[in-house]
């Protein structure tokens, strides 16, 4: 660790510094009221998603795997720690993109985990789409199909933000 307590060696540090490959690792998450929206979007974009590795939380992962007939690595359900697992994998550089159709109009029992996941994506400069329009723009970007090196956010380096 360096003087600020940030890890500077080991697999997590190495993974965080590697560029994203041309084939991205995409996490799919949806709250209960948004699962139908995510499935519609995923079916529409099946051809693009099939060229990438898919990950998802709990029930969403099962629904996506069944609907798309594609392999999906499944984390725990969001309220049972799945959002935290996705956040940890983002921080370690093991995921590249998050598509998270969350429900802003209904309180979730794990709202703290949702906010933490959004924070991790921003801190580690990882793309995160929280609605269909943003997800469409993200999947249609020419950067999706090529290697990409995110800028190391000053927040991720432990810079004082006070």
Model confidence over 31-81: pLDDT tens digits?
888 999 999 999 999 999 999 999 999 999 999 999 999 999 999 988 888
Structure tokens given for 55: 């990950």
At 11 the pLDDT is: 47
- The structure's pTM equals 0.82
At 31 the pLDDT is: 87
Q: What is the pLDDT of residues 84-116, one digit of tens each?
A: 899 999 999 999 999 999 877 566 666 677 788
Q: What is the CA radius of gyration of the chain?
A: 16
At 3 the pLDDT is: 42
83 is catalytic: yes
4 pLDDT above the threshold of 50 = no
Helix then strand then coil, % of the chain, to nearest 5 = 45, 15, 40
Ramachandran angles phi, psi of 157, nearest 5°: -85, 0
**In the chain, at which residue ranges do the beta strands (DSSP E only) sit?**
25-30, 53-57, 72-75, 97-101, 128-129
146 pLDDT above the threshold of 80 = yes
Out of 2, 4, 37, 83, which one is annotated catalytic?
Answer: 83
β-bridge partners, 55: 27, 73
Nearest to 96 by CA among 8, 28, 44: 28
């Amino acid at each position: 660790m360096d003087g600020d307590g940030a890890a500077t060696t080991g697999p997590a540090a190495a993974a965080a510094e590697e560029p994203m490959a041309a084939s991205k690792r995409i996490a799919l998450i949806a709250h209960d009221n948004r699962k139908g929206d995510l499935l519609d979007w995923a079916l529409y974009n099946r051809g693009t998603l099939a060229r990438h590795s898919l990950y998802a939380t709990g029930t969403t992962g099962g629904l996506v795997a069944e609907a798309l007939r594609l392999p999906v690595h499944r984390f725990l359900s969001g309220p049972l720690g799945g959002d935290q697992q996705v956040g940890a994998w983002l921080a370690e550089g093991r995921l590249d993109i998050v598509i998270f159709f969350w429900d802003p109009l209904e309180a979730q029992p794990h709202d703290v985990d949702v906010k933490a996941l959004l924070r991790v994506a921003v801190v580690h400069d990882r793309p995160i789409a929280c609605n269909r329009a943003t997800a469409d723009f993200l999947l249609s970007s020419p950067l999706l199909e090529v290697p990409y090196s995110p800028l190391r956010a000053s927040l991720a380096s432990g810079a004082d933000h006070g």
